[in-house]
Structure 1
Amino acid sequence: MLSFDFGGKNSCDDFEILIARRPDLPSPKRRVNTINIPGRDSNLRFDEKTYEDITLTVECSVKDTQNLADKIDEIKSWLFTAGESDLIFSFQPDKKYIAQVVNAIDFKQVYKYFSEFPVIFNCRPFKYAVENDLMNIISSGTVIINPGTVESEPVMNIYGSGDIVLKVNDEQISFKDVTEKIIVNSAIQDCYDDAGNNLNGKMTGEFPKLKPGENIMEWSGDVVKAELLPNLRWL
Structure 2
Amino acid sequence: MSVNFFNSDEPNFTFNNKNAVTDFECIIESELPEILPQKRYETYVIEGRSGELNETLNDYEAFDYEIKNITIPYDRLREVKKWLSGPGQLITHNQEDQYYECIANMSKEVQFENEWGYFYTFDVTFRCQPFKKKVNEKPRDIKVGEQTVFDFGDETAYPKFKIKSAGGDIGIYINGDEFIVLNTLEDDLFIDCELGTVYQPNNIPFSKGVFPTLEPGNNTIIVIGSMYEVQMWNRSVYL
**Both proteins in one fold, TM over 0.5:** yes
User: What pairs up with 1:141-160 in 2 under 5 angstroms?
Assistant: 141-158=146-163, 159-160=165-166
Q: Is the 8 A contact 1:137 1:228 kept in 2?
A: yes
Q: Secondary structure at the match of 1:156?
A: strand
* Cα distance in 2 for residues equivalent to 1:226 and 1:43: 48
User: What pairs up with 1:1-235 in 2 under 5 angstroms?
Assistant: 1-40=10-49, 42-64=51-73, 68=74, 70-80=75-85, 83-102=86-105, 103-158=108-163, 159-180=165-186, 181-194=188-201, 198-199=204-205, 202-235=206-239
| Aligned amino acid, residue 88 of structure 2 | S
* Cα distance in 1 for residues equivalent to 2:52 and 2:199: 42
Q: Is the 8 A contact 1:61 1:114 kept in 2?
A: no
* Cα distance in 1 for residues equivalent to 2:174 and 2:14: 35
Q: Is the 8 A contact 1:138 1:224 kept in 2?
A: no
Aligned residues: 226
Structure 1, gaps ≥5 residues long: none
Q: Is the 8 A contact 1:17 1:60 kept in 2?
A: no
| Aligned amino acid, residue 232 of structure 2 | L
Change (3 A) 1:63 1:29: closer
| Aligned amino acid, residue 17 of structure 1 | C
Q: Is the 8 A contact 2:133 2:236 kept in 1?
A: yes
| Aligned amino acid, residue 224 of structure 1 | Y
| Aligned amino acid, residue 212 of structure 1 | P
Determine what percentage of the aligned residue pairs are the same residue: 26
TM-score by length of 2: 0.85
Deviations 1:138-161 (A, max 9, x none): 232222221111111111123242
| Aligned amino acid, residue 39 of structure 1 | G
Q: Secondary structure at the match of 1:56?
A: strand
Q: How far apart are 1:23 and its partner, in Å?
A: 2.1
Structure 2, gaps ≥5 residues long: 1-9
Q: How far apart are 1:118 and its partner, in Å?
A: 0.3
* Cα distance in 1 for residues equivalent to 2:185 and 2:178: 20
* Cα distance in 1 for residues equivalent to 2:72 and 2:230: 52
RMSD: 2.0
* Cα distance in 1 for residues equivalent to 2:26 and 2:90: 15
* Consecutive aligned runs of 4 or more in structure 1 exceeding 3 Å deviation: 39-46
| Aligned amino acid, residue 208 of structure 2 | T
* Cα distance in 2 for residues equivalent to 1:42 and 1:206: 37
| Aligned amino acid, residue 234 of structure 1 | Y
Q: Is the 8 A contact 1:27 1:54 kept in 2?
A: no
* Cα distance in 2 for residues equivalent to 1:224 and 1:215: 23
TM-score by length of 1: 0.87
